[in-house]
Structure 1
């Protein structure tokens, strides 16, 4: 038996200056796509600046700590509530957006217990984040893996930590409208299940490449997928049904692929390569070496001379960008994409998958195994649902002991020795089995 290792094990159901576009042939037909709203914009500050009445509250401590002070982008002003445990503050964003994260900067009078909520009408609320043991400071709540869409965002207090109420220097809401449709085609990938192998962590899940959001500068850390720091990594999308694919738009963060394959599949197992950059294009991408602070992303438009057919599309990385000389072996990160857009016809608005069986018995095949004798940062992906086995020493269980719940019908699971969060446990073996 290998030595017992203390680790964090999590099971997650999950499924960044703009360079010149990289066009590889004339597009099949002219197209016009409107610019998408920047997801690195504080939508709450914008809304309150345009209409101060957009912020409402259950009550303020005094006239010197008004509700609007949490949205004025001034680090020296603050909003303070009355002293009630159930005090709240909410902002009307002016229109329905897809919220990617909410950021609170607490003054010394912080919330010990509170809930961040979202609503489409200001009456019916859905929880985004629940805090039971708050310690103040700066708190960033990512909405992932929820699809958090609404017009109103609220911080509802449950218990304040001090003798005072709830005091905020800032209350920021980030997000954006889904990318608009092309005038001549449809983004078949928008809001569809996305998946990838060995991604960095839940905050950079594959789910973000199809959420319609990207920062305007292709630089900031908003709504992106990133792999771990290895070469042979991929991210893909299920279009829901057989499709005819005309072109693909890849909106990269600075950590773009120098060399990659664009592949399609009918069954998510057998893949056909429909595009790879030319030697000259690879050389141009490889030569663009800049430090991480100076590097920016790029937008690749890949036009297929002959439309491809398939249900699944993926980007398979073959060489990562370098951020200093000598290239390419030093100072490399993984691959990082804001958006993976697939344009064409067909597809399905809903990708259907087999339901989780009530009786999880039967035959399974092993798809992942780690004995944790060395360092481990592992993500794995699969088609339907999986079994996760955690062994705490002794003989490894002969069968499964937990069935994951599908998310988007295409779950992903992760076992991460170093990630923050999750269930701390002493684990000797992890095996994943799939039907």
Structure 2
């Protein structure tokens, strides 16, 4: 994570593993600039009411921008009413009136899927960025001047903005660039509502465009889901869980819809934020977030609507974090070929979206029918010192990169094994090197149209949001043997690729990490030196005496190997080597546990 927003983000936030910290920790460390980007009036409160309230308590600078006026039913008067409601609701939790901004774009109602985009979805997907679309109200932005809230475009330019892609992106980009928030919160591109998807996509594009002009700008983006989706593509109307007893203690959010089927997101990777003082209590009548939601009167017409909005009053809020320190966003791209007819060009591998077909087919690089031998290269005008690369395969199961080489401008080459065949990140770490370009050449694959969903590059010392903390770095390491002190077990868990553990020559050996307490285990990465294990077990234990085989590996070929697990946890993790791949013992550059 990038620094500390305040005690709220330092002591109240959780790590990417989702561990909740105490809500009574330290004083604020440093104030930050926070921006909440909401699709419609009330979305800012439903998803981020607690986050906003705690930011204010901790002295952070906060602004809230609402993209659409939510005027699908009721016309301009409805839109103006909703502008007033949001202003009053935010005032209720302490957000100053001048910190609330309305872009003033239209709305045409719900979108049932990506095949039927909402009004903002139409603007985002428009192939002609200058094409003007009409809502039920008109074709230009508007606000509510009667309460001193004209639309942003009019405030800046003295005229209302046209309803087209260029204007909406330009408004959002200018606003972010002028304010320069350290953290941005918005709706996820995996939200069921296409207006919410589009808001997340527009926000990402705006940040990427700003970063390409100024590589030093690297905000943290937190995205959350407001409307959940089921596997069949319909909305999950049973999420969030409705509060049946207004006097009962608040419950935490449960996973939204069929999250795993509809996105690459993992519920365990979310960051959970405890409700702040005033929003952490029952009965609901005394809860500040509930009281604020009651001020969106236009959205509370029926008993269902009242109960539904109240269901967002929980003991926590959640989001997934994205770090824009990825310098690939500032690179130029060349490729052996690209599918220009579908827009799946090389540039889509550095667009900030780590997904692709079938959810976002226009967000990935796809070759023109190439397989083995296809390549993509990132180039920078100045030299960068890098030590990590994240590669995302196309998320469809048909095309699969099973091996590639990374070649660097310093003349070195690094062999990379298979990428996860589900679009998850493959993190490649290496001793830092100074480069002006890096090329990924695919040397083994499956399918007819090989490509990548995303190609990320990180400078030395940069934080990487995926796949989370390498737990082995903080553990205690020992082994059955070592050649000498220069090859101690600790060197396999020091984060460097210029040191290693090496056992004495023999058929069996083991290396073990004590994590000091029971922790969830999702992924293990092994980077073997030439002396690798052909057959070995990955074992776990809670007490260091009774062991369970988590994975039995046979016929392995050394190099970098990755193993993923579900529902695993342990205090001790051990690699028990049973059969050598060479005449020597066993040697590991790195033993990583996530």
- TM-score range normalised by the length of the shorter chain: 0.3 to 0.5
Structure with more contact order per residue of length (Cα contacts < 8 Å, sep ≥ 6): 1
Structure number having the greater strand percentage: 1
- TM-score scaled by structure 1? 0.34
Q: Highest Rg: 1 or 2?
A: 2
Structure number having the greater helix percentage: 2
